[in-house]
Amino acid sequence: MFFVLLIKILLIHPSSTNSLSFDFPHFTPNVSQIQFQNDTFWANNNAIELTKDVDTPNRLESVGWATYAQPIQLWDATTGRLTDFDTHFSFIIGSIEAKGNGDGITFFLAPFGSKVPPRSSGGSLALFVAERADDPRKNRVVAVEFDTFQNTWDPSPDHVGINVNSIVSVANVSWNSSMKDGRTASARVTYNSTTKNLSVFLAYDEDAPVFGGNSVLYHTVDLSKVLPQRIMVGFSGSAGWTAETHRVLSWQFSSTLEIGQNPKNVSDMHSGNGSKTDHGSNIGLLLVGIVAGLGVFGCGFCIALVFWWKKRGSSRSSKANSNMDNEFERGTGPKKFSYGDLVLATNNFDEGRKLGEGGFGGVYKGFLSNVSLNVAVKRVSRGSKQGIKEYQSEVKIISKLRHRNLVQLIGWCHERNDLLLVYEFMPNRSLDKHLFQGENGLTWDVRYKIALGLASALLYLHEAWEECVLHRDIKSSNVMLDSNFNAKLGDFGLARLVDHDRGSKTTVIAGTRGYLAPECFTTGKSSKESDVYSFGIVALEIACGRKPDQAVGGVLVEWVWSLYGSRKIVEAADERLRMEFNELEIEHLMVLGLWCAHPDYKARPLATQVFNVLRFESPLPKLPHEYPPTPASPPAAPCVPDNPSSAGLTDTLTGR
């Protein structure tokens, strides 16, 4: 009876899933995850060369692809969900002949299993058969082209374009300098499944850091109407009658939609309608999977039973660790590390490797030699303010989230009375170190990019993910900065998952003084509105370079509000900027900060409004000239009670 019920459940519910992301800071020759087609080969400097070597005979009309070996789940017909994706890559295009050049490279998406088309060299960019390159009815590919040759359909010799089923771009922009002079280009391509926005960012060495402000190019396209559910992603390079180097140096990719374990056949994906399903074949595969799964389940159950029998005399602490292991391992993404691995990575938690210290313990720089990866290891003692409940919360919540502006959790370990969390390493550390401890601070362009990135993270947590995530401790010391000064929100130890329409109960406060909304002190509640308040304080810190309690007269938000009321708000700008900023942007950010930090929770914006205001897509409100009084009534919903046994109220100086 149990097995019959189990089969019914499996027939109703989707199979287990795993999300996909990968990172190649450089390319090791013959790595199995990258597949080549046609003329592509491994270059000598840990890079990929997409077209023939310039010294190769018959090097003209060269084409090549380099693609990721596994399929990407673009959308899901069962749920109707469409993925977000974010990819970063660097490349070099070099012209060889003084009188001519090749045609450039693309980043493209195509049905999984596709091949380089015949007669696709030169202007067809190795993606289109020449005779039907401009016919959308006969092509299935979406590409971002970095084009270095002006064909009849192109705007200029050097340009960036977005192509949807045609060599003729649906959107393009001319580049104001040569794209084929051998400089290293850094590109980012993102897709937002909510807005259907495909965005392209591009910069060269001297422009870095990049990718925080406006995109070079964007186009609105519903990719589920263009491509099948499962696709391949990669790069193409093409040369016509002249030679050109097309070299890919690095590649990072992440997508939010999970990868189903029962994929469609490639033949189905290549059919005219990518949403059709062979039901008989799928049911057969599902039944095979069920039988195999039951076998694995039975073996696993027996092994677990034997293990339990042998370990029945183990301590309560070991049982607790085992319970956490089981709960964590049901998730996807982060892996369990052994204590020995992390001791080796951090040189036994050497004080010389310590990156920071808080109420929770220390954070250490580590190096995982088996994967050649720098990491940050947070060591949380069981007796700390954060404690085991916050450790469990962080692993369970952040493991489910995937966004370019959230710190990635790589793994975890709880052994020898230590709680250890392993994160991607952020070489530029936290925002507060630059705002309050650096001599020169950050340039205005970088600051505005950081604010945009943090707003994007807030939007994802509150509105874009399937559940509402309340971070409950947004502050500048929890905003980490990667090598390009992109903002990544971290520390989810106080975070909570709630339904988007959930109500609340009153209990104990959690968070950090200076960033806590005033209603939190009277209601004990955390809410979307309180997260927005905290964002507002960070926005003011970014613009003013001052801590929440270190402004003229004491409180930052009240001081900036007084300048706003007297039409002198720009005077609050950080003096270290030396007036080198975009006045409209800095005024926008400070007024938005005041709006978010309004003492009345009902007057604060939603995360969507925050993001749109920073992108100049929504207007700012007219705020009162004087700082308003705090209302007495609590927020209605959605809120989450702060757990009395785990809540921690800290100050802005010591942190967590």
Binding-site members are 378
State phi, psi for 64 to the nearest 5 degrees.
-165, 155
Q: Among all chains, which residue has been given the structure tokens 């195509």? A: 110
DSSP state of 437: I
Q: Write out the two tokens for 382.
A: 């069981």
**How many whole angstroms separate alpha carbon 89 and alpha carbon 230?**
22
Q: Write out the two tokens for 425.
A: 């390493």
Give the CA count within 13 Å in the CB-facing half-sphere of 612.
Answer: 11
Ramachandran quadrant class, 554 (left: phi over 0; alpha: psi -120 to 50; beta: rest):
left
Neighbours of 294 (CB within 10 A): 14
Residue whose C-alpha is closest to residue 216's, from 180, 164, 173: 173
Residue type, 54: V
Q: Which residues are catalytic?
A: 473
Neighbours of 25 (CB within 10 A): 14
Neighbours of 302 (CB within 10 A): 10
DSSP state of 608: H
Q: Which residues contact residue 380 at a Cβ distance below 8 angstroms, ignoring those fewer than 6 apart?
A: 360, 361, 386, 387, 390, 391, 418, 419, 420, 421
Written as one string, the DSSP assignment of 605-645 is PPHHHHHHHHTTSSPPP---SSPPPPPSSPP-SSEEEPPTT
From residue 95, alpha-carbon distances to 84, 124, 155, 311, 475 in Å are 35, 18, 19, 67, 47
Q: Among all chains, which residue has been given the structure tokens 């914006």? A: 605
Instruction: Indicate the SS3 state at residue 338.
Output: coil
The runs of H, that is alpha helices, within 501-569 are 518-523, 528-544, 556-565
Residue whose C-alpha is closest to residue 478's, from 552, 558, 537, 551: 537
Pairing label, strands 479-481, 409-415: unpaired
Residue type, 459: L
Binding positions for ATP are 378
Taking CA 321 as the corner, what is the angle to CA 318 and CA 325, rounded to the nearest 5 degrees?
135
Question: In the beta sheet, which residues pair with residue 73?
Answer: 230
Question: In the beta sheet, which residues pair with residue 414?
Answer: 419
